[in-house]
Amino acid sequence: MAGIYLHIPFCKSKCPYCNFFSVASLGSKDLFLEALHKEINIQSKYLGKQKISTIYFGGGTPSLLNPSEISHVLEKIISVFSVEETAEFTLESNPDDVTALKLREWRKAGINRLSIGIQSFADEDLKYLGRIHNGAQAEASLQLALDHGFSNLSADFIYGMPTLCDKVFTLNLEKAVHLGVPHISAYALTRESKTALDVMIRKHQTEGPDEDRSVSQFRLLMDYLGSLDYQHYEISNFCLPGMYSRHNSSYWKGNHYLGLGPSAHSFNGVSRQWNLSGISRYATLIQAGRPHFENESLSPSQKYNEYVMVSIRTMWGTGIAHIRKEFGTGPEQYFRNQALKFLVSGDILEKEGIYILSDKGKLFADKISSDLFLDID
């Protein structure tokens, strides 16, 4: 089973912390959609004969597309690929785009899962993050989605910004839980190079993320949601039993996926490819029938590192039997040797050949992963 990701590169305004490719204008929307439909045809063989089990509209802000445009994209994909009847169709949305009419139209188009970018219910935080919605709109969007039958619903939050204290972060989580949101994604604010936030910090125009605050709030996040039976199934993702994101989980389990749209990434188990950024360049190359992406073949060491990096971050963990089967006894022994110090320190736990991060280890996931990597051959 495989997935399809669609990068919709439009926003009403550019958030200062965001480093994903997007433009704050809909002026090139028609050009983009025409190219996207053609790219679906061009890439029809990329996933072979695998069935599509998930389709994910990300961005950018995909909810800026008209519901009819979303519907036409889905219809095109279904006409070209073999899509499961029970496939998960996710749409990312901003709170200010959520209306009763759009919710009805999204459901009619086939969208059966929403991911709403709440970030915080506190207006001070939203102002710092450069969001254009307010806390009241954020709360109303979740309630409205639930009222219109979107029981498969996710709320995104950000923590670690200088305006957010532990008390308010707890209130954010409590409000989402009280509303009945079954899936919560929470990300530490990071200072990405060349973003507007990075520039403002360097010019001393604003404060940056606070590492100690991020650590404190990550612990708070784990403790609070864990006490309410939310499963911490990936470093940044929590859900009630059975409500995990099937699409994102397929990434972490090493399944294959096709990325469509400018800057989107694809993976077929043998190579990785990424579309060029820039709507005009992307569209021009597609219309001309020229390559609109770059790619690289993965070496055995890269495949091993990829598996370890994504699997160790999940509740399903890294399987020693999988390493032995896919990569051989050499990498298996290397992993065992490298993992030993983390087993002793309690950062990694092992049961029946499955290695997972402990809550303490989750604070150092990137460092632990890098120590488990093989040198690239």
Are residues 307 and 243 part of one domain? Answer: no
Of 250, 279, 313, the domain-final residue: 250
Are residues 106 and 40 part of one domain? Answer: yes
Residue 34 lies in a domain: yes
Residue 286 lies in a domain: no
Nearest Cα residue to 90 out of 241, 266, 249: 249
CATH assignment at residue 98: 3.20.20.70
- Mean pLDDT, the chain, rounded, equals 96
| Percent of the residues in the chain that have a pLDDT greater than 90, as a whole number | 94
Residue 47 lies in a domain: yes
Q: 353 pLDDT exceeds 90?
A: yes
The residue range of the domain holding 334 is 299-377
Q: Please give the average per-residue pLDDT across 90-113, as a whole number.
A: 97
Contact 157, 142 (CB under 8 A): no
Q: Please give the average per-residue pLDDT across 159-164, as a whole number.
A: 97
Residue 264 lies in a domain: no
- Residue 376 banded pLDDT, cuts 50, 70, 90: confident
Residue 276 lies in a domain: no
Of 230, 250, 270, the domain-final residue: 250
Contact 120, 174 (CB under 8 A): no
pLDDT at 292: 94
**Distance of CA 67 to CAs 101, 102, 103, 128, 222, Å?**
10, 7, 9, 30, 36
Are residues 152 and 212 part of one domain? Answer: yes
Of 215, 250, 285, the domain-final residue: 250
Instruction: Report the alpha-carbon distance of residue 235 to residue 156 in Å, rounded.
Output: 13
CA dihedral 214, 222, 237, 65 (to 10 degrees): -60
Residue 256 lies in a domain: no
Are residues 335 and 238 part of one domain? Answer: no
Q: Please give the average per-residue pLDDT across 177-197, as a whole number.
A: 95
Q: What is the pTM of this model?
A: 0.95
> DSSP class of residue 260?
E
Q: Please give the average per-residue pLDDT across 211-240, as a whole number.
A: 97
Residue 131 lies in a domain: yes
Q: Which residue stretches of the chain are H helix?
A: 29-42, 67-80, 100-109, 123-129, 135-147, 166-179, 196-202, 211-227, 246-252, 279-287, 300-311, 320-327, 329-345, 365-372
| pLDDT, tens only, 247-266 | 999 999 989 999 999 999 99
Residue 184 lies in a domain: yes
Phi, psi (5° rounding) for residue 228? Answer: -110, 15
Are residues 140 and 9 part of one domain? Answer: yes
Are residues 370 and 244 part of one domain? Answer: no
Cα atoms in the Cβ-side hemisphere of radius 13 Å centred on 6: 27
Q: Which residue type does 95 have?
A: P
| Residue 360, both tokens | 């303490």
Q: Please give the average per-residue pLDDT across 181-208, as a whole number.
A: 93
Greater model confidence, 335 or 289: 335
Instruction: Report the alpha-carbon distance of residue 116 to residue 93 in Å, rounded.
Output: 5
Q: 1 pLDDT exceeds 90?
A: no
pLDDT at 35: 97
Q: Please give the average per-residue pLDDT across 366-376, as a whole number.
A: 93
| pLDDT, tens only, 124-143 | 999 999 999 999 999 999 99
Instruction: Report the alpha-carbon distance of residue 269 to residue 2 in Å, rounded.
Output: 11
How many domains would you assign to the chain? 2
**Length of the chain, in residues:** 377
pLDDT at 194: 87
- Residue 377 banded pLDDT, cuts 50, 70, 90: low
Q: Please give the average per-residue pLDDT across 181-196, as a whole number.
A: 94
Nearest Cα residue to 125 out of 78, 64, 166: 166
